[in-house]
Amino acid sequence: MLSNKTTSILFSSLLIVAFAGNGVAQNVDQTALALKKRGEVFRKPAGFKTTDEQVEVGFWFDDFDSLRTASASYLAILFTDDKSILKMKENTRLTIQGNTTPSQKIRQVRINSGSIKTKISPQIDVKYEIISPVSVASVKGTEFWLTVDTSGIDTFIGLEGTVEILNIESGQTMLLTAGMTITSSWTGTMNINTTDPATIPSDPDVEPQQGEGQQQGGEPAQDVQPAQSDQPPVQETRTRTPSQSKDSGDSKLPGGISMSASVGAAVLDGQVYNQISLRPDFPIGPIGVGLDLNFYFDADGNLREEDWDEPQDAIDKIFYLRYNSPEDPFYIRAGGLTGVTMGQGLIMDNYSNTIEYPQVRRVGLTGHREFGKLRFQGLVANLRELKNPGLIGARVSYNVLGSLKIGGTIVYDGDQFGGLPDKDGDGVPDSVDDFPDDNLRTVDTDGDGVADKDDPDRDGDGYTDQDLRGNPSELNDTSGVNLKTVLSLKDVKNASSIYGVDIEFPLFNNELIGITAYGEFAKIRDFGSGFALPGIRVSIGPVFLKMEYRQYKEEFIGNFYDRTYDLGRARLIWDAVNDSTIAETREDILLKPVRSPLTGVFGGAALNMLDMFTISASFSRMKSSGDSNLTFESLYGDLSINPVFIPKINKASLFYQQTNVENVFDFENTPSTLFGYLIGYEIAPSVSLQIRSQQTFADRNGDGDVEDEGETVKLTSIETVFTF
């Protein structure tokens, strides 16, 4: 069990973060008013309340309210303190939020999808930020349209004034002015062109009828209405001549296709390559397709052919393939997967199949489908491993009574040895295969470059010991032949599977705070079981907290399928007793050392501080209740900094992970250690230098540490990225 001192420190730290976050988010003091609406408009309060409320004219909105317009509907919102107006067209989803800094009040509108028109009054003490999953618009005294497409492309159309647009992926910024259109893509690309009047959304008529929109307190809405003509003078600001075509000067490809490119260097299989990358993006209604076309050239200018010589290589060129968005009842995505959690996280927590990208490319599949109260979720980690199969998962959940939800999860890996690279598929892992690109040859005992099966003198002592057919010859080596043995995993598989059930129930929620209780039980096939109960999740504005009490039986570890699972599915170690290399699975590594029950806690927190930075961390400590005094600690941490606050830097993030060690705060490198960073430096407008670095470690000789040569695994890439 944790000591009282350790428990007090952990709880105190989380409470400090909670109260700090609570001070960040300030209520909007009911300054947002439903001015006019048509059709069906819904409000969902912050927290975990699942019932949407119908919005009527005169309705006052609170901080963190989520709003949704149905088909053929719209809503006009009046901010009564500064007389600004926001109009939501049909099928639009957004959240209103207010923040306060020591020097300025910031009002944020977070839009997930749809179209909005903003008319912001030029106030001195209020700054507006319109935030989508792709872009951030910093607004002060301007008028513009924003359409957020589920394919990951934002379209800004300037009507009056000036607004700065930031692309979150690339950190690039552009100024939007009247008569101009900016597109901002999830790939990091931005384009600016003269506005085509045909692309301007139709403006709903929001002018109230006589007496409509009367505010509480008696102030009439017509005092804050926009001018009689709400249509922008686009014709006066355009500069195109009659001889110019509609698409003149448009840098975007036909059909809404966008493109980004980069050049740089990458280290693959220990060799440095020059890299050219192209990432075209094809939005087709609710469908999105993104390709990742990488060309690697060696020092002699030769293309790395193994990336293009098999039909299955086409799978690796899919950066993503998506239908709908995660908020929709039906959603599916293929490609790189990050942050996949099933259930409450005891089985699968924050799994990623991109941990070794770009050296190892995995194209996975994930998604969900909802049928009323019933929800299905699925995962395939790597489509190339369907034959085995590799890592797959399924989950079903159901609202049994009110907000009480139960769920069941099963995750299965058909072959943990699939985590050992074997390019030629001969069953001998590449690291012990003398011919990793030849599936007919594996061993070269004397290291002369000739495989044993082709070498008359296999041990290299100058005496012939076999003929070229592999049969003993007349000139047999009288001193004897001592051949190297090789590890073969051909037709050898080691599957793992975990199944479990969970339950959750919202305890309390209002406009700012939501509290949910939950619990989860899991069992590892042929090994032990464990549970997390009770568990508490708390959301306080931009702060998220999580705390669990956990108890494990022998041979059980929680978060088994985590972010670094693919790095630790299996490993090779040297068996000094038998003088040979052997393979161990993740079950061998993690579960067998747990010889007595463990109890302890798991805690996590996340905070978005005024969009200046986001930070998340989690910590767990499990201690043996027996005499073995066994302790397992794990630590996860991520930090992302908004580059708008750092001159010339357009990307900045770092991460660290250490799992199942005796003391994570020793920060000693182990096979479970993972850390890295991403830095983007702006060289010139639309051109930046991006450096990605990641380090992991492997105990290749089985001596219990990762300090020897060749046991540090570095993945580094340096790219010059062009956005156009």
What local confidence, expressed as pLDDT, does residue 345 receive? Answer: 92
| Predicted confidence band of residue 471 (pLDDT cuts 50, 70, 90) | low
Q: How far, in Å, CA of 638 to CA of 606, rounded?
A: 9
Q: What is the pLDDT of residue 255?
A: 52
Residue 311 lies in a domain: yes
Nearest Cα to Cα of residue 688 among 650, 636, 655, 647: 650
Examine the domain organization and report whether 281 and 313 are in the same domain.
yes
Task: Annotate 255-314 with DSSP letters as a single string.
Answer: GG-EEEEEEEEEEETTEEEEEEEEEEEEEETTEEEEE-EEEEE-TTS-B-GGGTSSTTHH
129, 227: one domain: yes
Query: Is the bond preceding 389 in cis, omega lying within 30 degrees of 0?
Result: yes
| pTM of the shown model | 0.63
Q: Are residues 119 and 177 in the same domain?
A: yes
**126 within a domain of the structure (yes/no):** yes
Residue where a domain stops, chosen among 278, 302, 323? 323
From 638, 637, 697, 639, select the one nearest 664 (Cα to Cα): 637
Average pLDDT over residues 606-627: 82
Does residue 230 share a domain with residue 262? no
Q: What is the pLDDT of residues 106-127, one digit of tens each?
A: 788 889 889 999 988 775 567 7
Number of Cα atoms under 13 Å in the Cβ half of residue 116 = 29
Indicate the number of domains in the chain.
Answer: 2
Same domain, 219 and 270: no
* Same domain flag for 172 and 301: no
Task: Tell whether 114 is covered by a domain.
Answer: yes
Does one domain contain both 211 and 315? no
- Please give the residue range of the domain that contains residue 275: 258-323
> 308 and 178 in one domain?
no
Is a pLDDT exceeding 70 seen at residue 473? no
500 three-class SS = strand
Residue 140 lies in a domain: yes
Q: How many residues does the chain have?
A: 724
| 302 has pLDDT over 60 | yes
d(CA 111, CA 77): 14
Phi, psi of 713 (to 5 degrees): -105, 115
Query: Quick one: 129 and 177 in the same domain?
Result: yes
Strands 84-88 and 74-79: antiparallel
Evaluate if residue 249 carries a pLDDT over 70: no
Query: Is 360 among the domain residues?
Result: no
Number of neighbours of residue 529 by Cβ within 10 angstroms = 17
How sure is the predictor about 628, in pLDDT bands with cuts at 50, 70 and 90? low
- In this prediction, residues 42-64 reach a mean pLDDT of 77
CA distances from 2 to 248, 321, 543, 599, 620 (A): 68, 46, 25, 8, 11
Using the 3D structure, point to which of 172, 204, 237 is the last residue of a domain: 237
> What confidence tier does 531 reach under pLDDT thresholds 50, 70, 90?
very high
Distance of CA 445 to the CA centre of its chain: 45
d(CA 25, CA 43): 20
Give φ, ψ of 11 to 5 degrees: -65, -40
Three-state DSSP at 221 gives helix
Distance CA 529, CA 536 (A): 21
Last residue of a domain, one of 208, 237, 266: 237
Residue 491 lies in a domain: no
Write the CATH number for 209: 2.60.120.1440
Residue at 223 is within a domain: yes
State whether residue 40 is helix, strand or coil: coil
Do residues 232 and 264 both lie within one domain?
A: no
DSSP 3-state of 407: strand
Same-domain pairing of 229 and 274: no
- Per residue in 338-395, pLDDT tens? 889 999 999 999 899 988 876 788 889 999 999 988 999 999 999 988 888 899 999 9
591 in Cβ contact with 439 (< 8 Å): no
Report pLDDT digits (tens) over 221-248: 333 333 333 333 333 333 332 233 333 3
Please report whether residue 179 resides in a domain.
yes
pLDDT of 697 higher than 70? yes
Task: Flag the least confident range among 5-9, 185-189, 313-317, 659-663.
Answer: 5-9
**180 and 86 both lie in a single domain:** yes
